[in-house]
Structure 1
Amino acid sequence: MFGNIASFLSSGENIAFFVFALMAIGGAIFMISFNKVVHMVLALALTFISMAGLYVVLSAEFVAFVQVLIYAGAISILMIFGIMMTKHQGEEEELKRPVHNVLLFIGAAALFGVLFYCIQNVTLPAGQFKAAEDNTLEIGKLLFNEHVIPFELMSVLLTVAFIGAIVIAKREED
């Protein structure tokens, strides 16, 4: 049963995948566990950066670059500025619920056990993946030739959402 794990961890690429996956899961758990919003944002940034590492391992360099640039950089900084620019009242601490934490641990362990069992017993067909030589060039060709209409529709949708957010923010000020 554990022979699959030993063969999985025999290559450096798989070890990097495992480390980045653990960092992503850890950052997500820290994000929902922390009480202070700044700590939550930093844990979320860790998750975003580790997801970019996963993309690099999967040979999607363009997606990894966009992940770091947009999510880890822009959204994390935007959230921190939003926290700094708004007023926060002293919030009450939640009551500790030990029974709730024990049930959460049991549920997480059961989920891990089921996933471990399923992954160990699955048989995947062997196949060859032929990656493009230049991912960015291929994405550009697809985006501006084959998928140009959805690309433009998304830009219009994002512009409308941005204008709507400004209108709603102006109404709340008045």
Structure 2
Amino acid sequence: MFNGLGDFLSSGTSWAFFIFALLAIGGAIFMISFTKVVHMVIAVALTFISLAGLYVILEAEFVAFVQVLIYAGAISILMIFGIMMTKHRQGEDEGPKRPWHEGLAILGAVGLFGILFYAIQKSTFVSSGSLDAGKDNTLEIGKLLYNVHVIPFEIMSVLLTVAFIGAIVVAKREED
């Protein structure tokens, strides 16, 4: 079961993967566990940046750049502005405490990690020697985005604009 563990730990890329994966999982767990919304947004931003690091390891630099620019930057800032525009009551009583919640969450996370570790150790991976990566990934993504998928791209931009305007209208209505 632990045959490939020595090979895994001897590579710097594997260590970087391990660190980014732990940060992404930790950010997700913190996001669920925190009670203050601003702390949740910071935890989500940590998860987004960790995922960008994983994309760099996978040699998908463009996707990593977009991950940092759009998700870690724009979405996190949009969430913080949304929090700032809404009214919050200070000093609200929290719901009933769940004493076993943290213990069960840790037990579930360790169990999931064990299952995934076992599945990865038992699986066989194909050598990547036959992969012919493109010379310019960004150029190919741009060609696909603006030639083949131009209609869904434009529909998505209109949808995001309408959602943003709707959020502003709802936030302004709450002020009145």
TM > 0.5 fold call: yes
1:15 is aligned to 15
Match of residue 93 from structure 1: 94
Alpha-carbon deviation of 1:164?
4.3
Structure 1 Cα separation of the partners of residues 100 and 85 of structure 2: 37
How far apart in 2 are the matches of 1:160 and 1:99? Answer: 42
How far apart, in 2, do the equivalents of 1:162 and 1:106 lie? 39
Flag the 1:85–1:148 CA change in 2: closer, same or farther, 3 A: closer
* Aligned-partner residue type, residue 64 of structure 1: A
Code of the residue aligned with 1:88 in structure 2: it is H
Report the CA distance between 1:154 and its aligned residue.
2.2
Identify unmatched segments of 5+ residues in structure 2. none
Give me the whole-angstrom Cα distance separating, in 2, the residues matched to 1:53 and 1:105. Answer: 24
The structural deviation recorded for 1:173 is 5.7
Query: 1:51 — aligned with what?
Result: 51
1:145 corresponds, among 144, 147, 152, to 147
Separation (CA, whole Å) in 2 of partners of 1:82 and 1:159: 15
CA contact (8 A) 2:145 2:153 kept: yes
- Whether contact under 8 Å (2:45, 2:76) holds in the other structure is yes
1:70 equivalent in structure 2: 70
What's the TM-score once normalised by structure 1's chain length? Answer: 0.85
Aligned-residue RMSD, C-alpha? 2.2
Name the amino acid aligned to 1:152.
Answer: E
Q: Which has the higher contact order (CA 8 A, sep 6+)?
A: 2
TM-score with structure 2 setting the length: 0.84
Once the two structures are superposed, the pairs formed by residues 23-62 of structure 1 within 5 Å of their partners are: 23-62=23-62
Identity %: 74
- How many angstroms apart in 2 are the aligned matches of 1:17 and 1:137? 27
Separation in structure 2 between the aligned mates of residue 152 and residue 98 of structure 1, nearest angstrom: 48
Q: Quick one: distance in 2 between partners of 1:149 and 1:49?
A: 29
Aligned with residue 157 of structure 2, among 144, 155, 160: 155
AA matched with 1:113: G
| Residues 18-27 or 74-83, more deviating | 74-83
Matched length = 174
CA distance in 1, matches of 2:171, 2:86: 13
